[in-house]
Amino acid sequence: MTRPLSIGVAGLGTVGAGVLKLLSDNAALIAARAGRPIIVTAVAARDRARDRGVPLEGLRWHTDAVMLAHDPDVDVVVELVGGSNGPAKALVEAALAAGKPVVTANKALMAVHGAVLAKQAEAAGVTLAFEAAVAGGIPAIKGLREGLAANRILRVVGILNGTCNYILTCMRDQGREFADVLAEAQALGYAEADPSFDIDGVDAAHKLAILAALAFGRPVDFDALYVEGIRNITALDIKLAEELGYRIKLLGIAAAVEGGISTRVHPCMVPVSHPIAVVDGVYNAVVAEGDFAGRVVLEGRGAGAGPTASAVVADLIDIARGRSTPVWGAGTADLARIPNVPMEQHRGAYYLRLMVLDRPGVLADVTGVLRDHAISLESMIQRGRAPGEAVPIVLTTHECQEAAMRAALTRIAALASVLEPPAMIRIETL
């Protein structure tokens, strides 16, 4: 075998320790597949005293992660610090400037700065690999960028955040409310102490921005995404969705539509017959539709030490073998400048739940507003009577424009008989 590939790892948290463990436990297998051994020669982390559960003896230790880029015995820099700016960005920029390949698991960095970093990697003639940035151990990046390279991608849909999927699954299976399940998820370690990045859809949006760039061969554009989280989903909505033949999932959707590309993250009602509807718990899934390959479904663990380390080491094996692909699947000069279609132009069906006073004329008032905005109803659920009390009315609509629906909801919310803001969830037939 040829000279070992020496790597420096920045960040020794869950994923960093997982990478060191994987490289040690599967060393012989990895060497055979890489054509040479892959060894860790240096690490960067702030706390030397903390027990990471893996041996660190004999490794050079840098308290400043950027020093890995200048370490003469480091061939490849592995960035596992996280965050779209700060030390992570500084390290990746320094490594590329030094002509060293970089492997990162940093979805925020790639979503926000991936266009600039890709140009820097291209100019330096080195690899910038990020398989671990999306969906953990699922080979979503390679699947889109290389496996489906001959296809015109029509749409990419994903369950991209395991925390949200776990919460929605528990709410459905146990009939519990969002706040209760979130507290349990935090206690179990599935959700952070500050869970806003997960439950507000930002984490999923970072990943979707990356998938959209790969799918449609255009520069990554995080700011173009519409993002909505799951804070307002209730156990009642989940129960009613099941009655209507749907399940509620937080989805990232990037699709070629009339006028350009639509990129959005929000709760969706999906038919129970669709493969993505049965992906539960902390699992992730990515569904891509190619013009020749058709529908391709990838499912697996989207986070954790083992799955994410698996993706990191897969990138290292590619580098050891000399396999290199442009960051976004094509050279930066060849990326398409396809316009973004704003959310207001989205067309689809909708689920509406209204809490109203049970009295004559209420339904006529609501349907009159929908009529004024050219929104037609597909179905309605109203059970029992409770004159003078609050009752739920559930409506599903035929396809209409998002702007019209938002305008209608503003008027409906202002009706005296409507007691709380209407709940609205988009229906995706996929």
The H or E element containing residue 118 is: helix 107-124
Cα 296 from Cα 284, distance rounded (Å): 14
Question: Three-state DSSP class for 224?
Answer: helix
Nearest Cα to 425, choosing from 277, 262, 280, 240? Answer: 240
- The contacts of residue 8 (CB under 8 Å, 6+ apart) are 40, 41, 42, 43, 44, 62, 68, 71, 74, 76, 77, 78
In Å, how far from its chain's centre is CA 67?
A: 31
- The contacts of residue 104 (CB under 8 Å, 6+ apart) are 78, 79, 80, 88, 92, 110, 128, 129, 130, 132, 133
Nearest Cα to 394, choosing from 246, 267, 240? Answer: 240
Nearest Cα to 302, choosing from 395, 163, 412, 417? Answer: 163
Termini Cα distance of the chain: 48
Cα 156 from Cα 144, distance rounded (Å): 9
Question: Three-state DSSP class for 244?
Answer: coil
Dihedral (C-alpha) 36, 93, 88, 334: value to the nearest 10 degrees?
A: -80
Tokens of 129: 């690999």
Based on the residue annotation, tell me whether 100 is a catalytic residue of this protein.
no
- State the number of CA atoms in the 13 A half-sphere of 116 facing the CB: 11
Residue with tokens 């970072």: 206
Burial (Cβ within 10 Å: 0-12, 13-18, ≥19) of residue 347 = middle
Cα 5 from Cα 23, distance rounded (Å): 12
Q: Which amino acid is at 216?
A: F
Catalytic member of 89, 100, 107, 207? 207
> Strand pairing of 390-397 and 294-301?
unpaired
Give one word for 294, left, alpha or beta, with left for phi > 0 and alpha for psi -120 to 50.
left
Nearest Cα to 305, choosing from 4, 12, 46? Answer: 12
Q: Which residues are catalytic?
A: 207
